[in-house]
Amino acid sequence: MTKLAHARPTACLALADGTLFYGSGFGATGQTVAELCFNTAMTGYQEIMTDPSYAGQVVTFTFPHIGNTGITPEDDETADPVAAGMVVKWMPTTPSNWRSAGELGDWLAARGRIAIGGIDTRRLTRAIRQAGAPHVALAHDPEGNFDIAALVAAARDFAGLEGMDLAKDVTCAQSYRWDEMRWAWPEGYTRLEDPKFKVVAVDYGAKRNILRCLASVGCDVTVLPASATTEDVLAHKPDGVFLSNGPGDPAATGEYAVPMIKGVLDQTDLPVFGICLGHQMLALALGAKTIKMNHGHHGANHPVKDHETGKVEITSMNHGFAVDAQSLPEGIVETHTSLFDGSNCGIRMAGRPVYSVQHHPEASPGPQDSFYLFERFAKAMQDRTA
């Protein structure tokens, strides 16, 4: 067993190629294995860590000031962190924010998530960009004792996200109703009192703020598990169907999600709106294909062009797979593309209110340029029932 002979970093990040990064551990102790990605957002670390789309991933934050605004329960996107761990440049300092209810390190420790600070995140980010998202093992031991050979072997043994259906791990166990709307000053979160539309949201790993956005445009939302069938969805007599974000390989989740979506499209003329994994699920149901990206898109400053208006939106993104634009069948229009790499970011069915986007218009974290997509969904339901 190979151990460090000198004192004493308390955390180690081991890449599958044998590259090692030593630093200071915080949060939980122990070891985890995952895919490593980087996120360029300057804020929203709590929302990122609790985004179910990060299942199976350790997140490297390129912005150095992580933890400086503390933790507040209102910012959780799901009940507990879903990302496997976090990597930061500087150790979190004492938080300074009027909404703070605790410190990042304590929050992570209580929820079993490992973090490492003191890392050259620029070097790590360059490595991810050049060689693709690596498989890693992240360990935190306050005594600084690490079995390096075992860590590297664990990273190499990680199966990776291709072929993994992670939606089944993060979806809700049973259906529930949602009526909480977006946070607004000074009231905070308020409840929808006069719903206009009944919407079924299929939960592949839904973020709370997406559900809030739906409620904020008048939707009485019923959330169903990822395994919901066409019959389950239509039994609620919805005015529209929403397909949520989520983690993992879309082709794997599509084994059971695609038949449901095809059934809704074949049996009804309901408006359908998808985000992130929901976008990929809709594309697969319409006959397109998805591909694994080199390092994906993760951040809150991604420029996306809407080809139908000519406008460029600054968006929030989090995905490691993408819809292959070259595989879109006839009758499916590409509506949005990334200005970073030209990858597909949106589609719609010609002549029907069925559309989806790869980015996150709920802005949690991120800009609100794309909130109009929720309003478009509400208008489609209104037009259908008029």
pLDDT, residue 386, reads: 80
Q: How confident is the model at residue 35 (pLDDT cuts 50, 70, 90)?
A: very high
d(Cα 38, Cα 120) in Å, to the nearest integer? 12
Mean pLDDT in residue range 341-370:
96
pLDDT, residue 7, reads: 60
Residue 6 pLDDT more than 80? no
Mean pLDDT in residue range 66-71:
96
Q: How confident is the model at residue 1 (pLDDT cuts 50, 70, 90)?
A: very low
Strand partners, 133: none
Structure tokens at 39: 């996120």
Residue 294 pLDDT more than 50? yes
Residue 2 pLDDT more than 80? no
Q: β-strands 114-117, 85-87: how paired?
A: parallel
Residue 290 backbone phi and psi in degrees, to 5: -120, 155
Task: Dump pLDDT digits (tens) for 247-259.
Answer: 999 999 999 999 9
pLDDT, residue 40, reads: 97
Task: Dump pLDDT digits (tens) for 296-313.
Answer: 999 999 999 999 999 999
Mean pLDDT in residue range 113-140:
97
Residue type for position 310:
G
Identify which of 285, 288, 195 has the alpha carbon closest to the alpha carbon of residue 240. 195
Q: Which residues contact 214 (CB under 8 A, 6 or more apart)?
A: 178, 199, 201, 221, 242, 374, 377
Identify which of 212, 142, 157 has the alpha carbon closest to the alpha carbon of residue 183. 212
d(Cα 267, Cα 2) in Å, to the nearest integer? 61
d(Cα 375, Cα 381) in Å, to the nearest integer? 10
DSSP-based three-state secondary structure for 187: coil
Mean pLDDT in residue range 119-139:
97
Q: What domains can be seen in the chain, in order of their start residue? A: 11-157 (3.50.30.20), 167-385 (3.40.50.880)
Task: Dump pLDDT digits (tens) for 43-65.
Answer: 999 999 999 999 999 999 999 99
Instruction: Using a pLDDT cut of 90, give the percent of the chain over it.
Output: 96
Mean pLDDT computed over every residue of the chain: 96
From 3-17, 106-120, 227-241, 278-292, the region with the lowest mean pLDDT: 3-17
Residues belonging to the active site:
276, 360, 362
Task: Dump pLDDT digits (tens) for 250-286.
Answer: 999 999 999 999 999 999 999 999 999 999 999 999 9
Q: How confident is the model at residue 5 (pLDDT cuts 50, 70, 90)?
A: very low
